[in-house]
Amino acid sequence: MLRHLDPSRELEVLAEIAQLLTQFDMQRVLGRVIRKVAGAVGATHAHLALHSNYEMDWRNIFQTDRLDVDTVYSASVGGLNTGLAGWVVRERRGTIVYNAARDERREVFGEELSKGSAIAMPLICNQDLMAVLTLLHPEARHFAESHFRLVQIAMNQASVAVHNARLENHVRSGKHQFEAVLHAVDNPMLVLDTRGKILMMNDAATRYLQIADAPFVPGIHLADLVRDDSAFERILQIIDSASGTTSRWLFKAHSELRERDFEVLMSVWENPLQGQSGFVVMMHDVTTLLELDRFKNDMLRMASHDLRSPLALISGYTDVLDMDLPDEYPTLRGYLDAIRRTTQRMDGLLIDLLRVERIQSSPLELHQPVPVTALLETVIDNTQAAAFQKQQLLDTDFHSLPDEIVADPVMIREAMENFVSNAIKYTPEGGHIVVRAYARDTAFYFIVEDNGIGIGPEHMPRLFTSFYRAKQAGTEHIQGTGVGLSLVKTVIERHQGKVWVESEVGVGSQFGFWLPLS
């Protein structure tokens, strides 16, 4: 016989459930809600089947292995594929089973519900079905429509609360992950607000600022901690003058106080929902790298200068021996020629090394206005003879040229000539080379195209690396040190430009760079 629920009792239960769901301890609250609903409708058993797609969320919200499982209430992850719960998932709606033995759907219920009555209700929020609650009673026709309505309203309220709990756990989990990453980074990292107050810092920053002995209190102004440290001068300047036009800064900083060098990445963070914003500061300590680079440059400079003297001596004595050697010793003359070629090759390598050192140490203040037309004419004049020797056609396509560019005239000329000389070197006799130059928007472009042997795709990533040479068929007889393209890249990047290359084996290559006009 159907037992209808008293309306006043229904309102009382719903009010109690609404008050329970204002708490955020879903692990206990959800169990109490289900017990209260089960008690109100007279169910002898309640089962909550949790959707496995949200298993991690359920484990965070609702640790089933710690629940008090009794005859009234139990919970499990999964169990939504079969039985009454499976029917609810497929239909995405709740249902009453008045008499399981006579219900036309009894074949799908299985042993879970072979007799008696039941109510099954999904927990759905934002179209996501998160769980199914099943209430059972051993007697047929125990549950009525009033019971179903109460369970439906209660589970709708519970769905919203569980959804909010899931969101809160996601936020908390993201915060924990961010803090773990923050403290795992072995370089100083700080999170600041727009005024420069420290909201968060990692262990490396705490050690660098030498405040590891005292507990960090958020809200301290960065300027109060780094007043005498020159590494933070630019950071504080950006905080004081930052505008909405720039959101990312990359620069180098040196600490005279601690004799450390940093590469600093500073960016803006924003939280529109809470109207908050500020800066993230990442300070990569490059002191060791700079010391190694200085050591490398010193050794390079010293070796280059010191080796040139003995090489000149060897070359000079080789010429003297060749002059005094009688004609009846052709074999010895061949040996002397081999020594001469080797010393010349070593001398060329040393010249390239000195060029690398000169380019890297040359101050940017040497940049000056350079007439573009005269520069291009000099480049063509200096490379025309080499193309003529190989019977190559060296064409030019110059248009829309600017009057001048601001650059180091010697470096830029060498970079251009290197591109043209490379094209001549790697293009067979009778080939065709086109040198293009033009201005577009705010940049000056210089491009060299050839129909030479081309470059395989496996060589492209390392093509501008120092001393790298692409060894492939057709290049065995071509002399070189592998420094030229590296020099071009260094020169162009020091002028705030960029190099590129496109090539296809057997078709030809296109090398180019652009420079900013401003």
Fold equal for 186-285 and 364-516 = no
For residue 332, give both structure tokens.
């010895």
**Statement: residue 518 has pLDDT above 80:** no
Spatial distance between the Cα atoms of 237 and 196, rounded to a whole number of angstroms: 10
* pLDDT at site 73: 45
pLDDT band, residue 25 (cuts 50/70/90): low
Kindly indicate whether the domain formed by 186-285 is annotated with CATH number 3.40.50.150.
no
What's the pLDDT at 213?
61
> Mean pLDDT score of the chain, rounded to an integer?
79
**What's the burial of 82, exposed, middle or buried (CB within 10 Å: 0-12/13-18/19+)?**
middle
Residue 1 pLDDT class (50, 70, 90 cuts): very low
Which tokens go with 313? 């001596």
Q: Beta partners for 435? A: 396, 448
Return the closest-CA partner of residue 129 out of 177, 162, 104: 162
What pLDDT does 265 receive?
92
pLDDT tens, residue by residue, 131-142: 888 888 888 888
Helix (H, G, I), strand (E, B) or coil at 478: coil
pTM across the whole model: 0.46
Give the model's confidence band at 506: pLDDT under 50 very low, under 70 low, under 90 confident, else very high: confident
Mean pLDDT, rounded, for 209-214: 69
Domain map of the chain by residue range? Answer: 7-173, 186-285, 293-360, 364-516
Q: What is the largest CA-CA distance in the chain?
A: 131
Topology (CATH) of 364-516: Heat Shock Protein 90 (3.30.565)
Give the 3-state secondary structure of 140-178. CCCCCHHHHHHHHHHHHHHHHHHHHHHHHHHHHHHHHHH
Provide the token pair at 124: 């759905």
Radius of gyration of the chain (CA): 39
Lowest mean pLDDT among 325-329, 375-379, 408-412: 325-329
What is the rounded distance in angstroms from the CA atom of residue 222 to the CA atom of residue 233?
Answer: 11
CATH class of domain segment(s) 7-173: alpha beta
Asked if pLDDT for residue 471 goes beyond 50, the answer is yes
Phi, psi dihedral angles at 147 (to 5 degrees) = -65, -45
How many residues are given for the chain? 518
